[in-house]
Amino acid sequence: MKSLKAGVIGHPISHSKSPIIHQYWLQQHELEGSYKTIDIAPENLESGIQNLVSEGYDGFNITIPHKENILTLCDELSPAAKIIGAVNTVKIKNKKLIGHNTDYFGFIENIKMSIANYNFKDKNIFILGAGGATRAIIYGLLQEKFSKIYISNRTQGRAENLKEMAPEKIEVIEWSGKENNLSNINLLINTTSLGMVNHPELEINISNLPDNATVTDIVYTPLLTDLLKQAKINNNQIVTGIGMLLHQARPAFELWTRIMPDASPELEKLVLGEISV
């Protein structure tokens, strides 16, 4: 393969962990190439992307705030990107932009790799939040054979909007009633920004959750959110959010290089070393 030219676009972008991940894999697989952070302000998105095409980029990742706005700038979309309505990875082929979404894979793979033999079959799932990440997670869950998804969000209309993804399998629960609807839940997922550094705490009492339920948080700064600490105390199995970041990057790297890399413990440590926990 010729030298890879890739990066991640966003605004702001300097704190992105993606260069650590992709540079690690380039080195591990003895590939030539570069992966840079590229700051593009929202008003410059179209011209910023055209510059990357002119400069011969093979592709790039997309983060806040461009994941949705880039959809209409792509020449083609993968089925996942179309249904999720967001693009986190672009492959540039013959100067055409092909938009993909690997966030759903990152979420599902994180659970499967963190808990041996995890099976979504017959699971009742409770999702807190209905923001951008939630649609990707629901898309991922729909590839599995779960039983039911309950969604609770401060702004209930956003949760109602997600129901169309699987009307017969999704039920909306009032934000104020979330704690009273945990007794039959097998998997609890926080997709809100609550609990993240510089954000308010997620205030929830999960004592109604069965002991054998799993709790996961997509927040990874801090790695052990208050929700996960509470789950540990209650003897619930926990899955931290860092794996979603690592696993969503794997198919992106594969799209550009045809090599599907591993999310090794060493890589996780490297990325976490950069994070103030």
- Residues noted as catalytic: 67
Q: Looking at beta carbons only, is 78 or 192 nearer to ligand ATR? A: 192
Binding residues for ligand ATR restricted to 199-228, rule: CB under 6 A: 200
Least Å distance, CB 214 to ligand ATR, is 20
> Are 227 and 207 in contact, with CB atoms under 8 Å apart?
no
Residue from the set 31, 73, 132, 169 that interacts with ligand ATR by CB under 6 A: 132
Task: Determine, following the binding rule CB under 6 A, whether residue 133 of this chain makes contact with ligand ATR.
Answer: yes
Task: Determine, following the binding rule CB under 6 A, whether residue 161 of this chain makes contact with ligand ATR.
Answer: no
Residues 71 and 81: their CA atoms lie apart, in Å, by 8
Residue from the set 95, 154, 229, 269 that interacts with ligand ATR by CB under 6 A: 154
Q: Looking at beta carbons only, is 89 or 257 nearer to ligand ATR? A: 89
Concatenated DSSP letters of 107-138: HHHHHHHHSTT---TT-EEEEE--SHHHHHHH
Task: Determine, following the binding rule CB under 6 A, whether residue 129 of this chain makes contact with ligand ATR.
Answer: yes
Count interface residues toward ligand ATR (CB under 6 A). Answer: 13
Q: Looking at beta carbons only, is 26 or 188 nearer to ligand ATR? A: 188
Task: Determine, following the binding rule CB under 6 A, whether residue 158 of this chain makes contact with ligand ATR.
Answer: yes
Task: Determine, following the binding rule CB under 6 A, whether residue 195 of this chain makes contact with ligand ATR.
Answer: no
Q: Looking at beta carbons only, is 79 or 131 nearer to ligand ATR? A: 131
Q: Looking at beta carbons only, is 88 or 214 nearer to ligand ATR? A: 88
Least Å distance, CB 77 to ligand ATR, is 19
Task: Determine, following the binding rule CB under 6 A, whether residue 176 of this chain makes contact with ligand ATR.
Answer: no
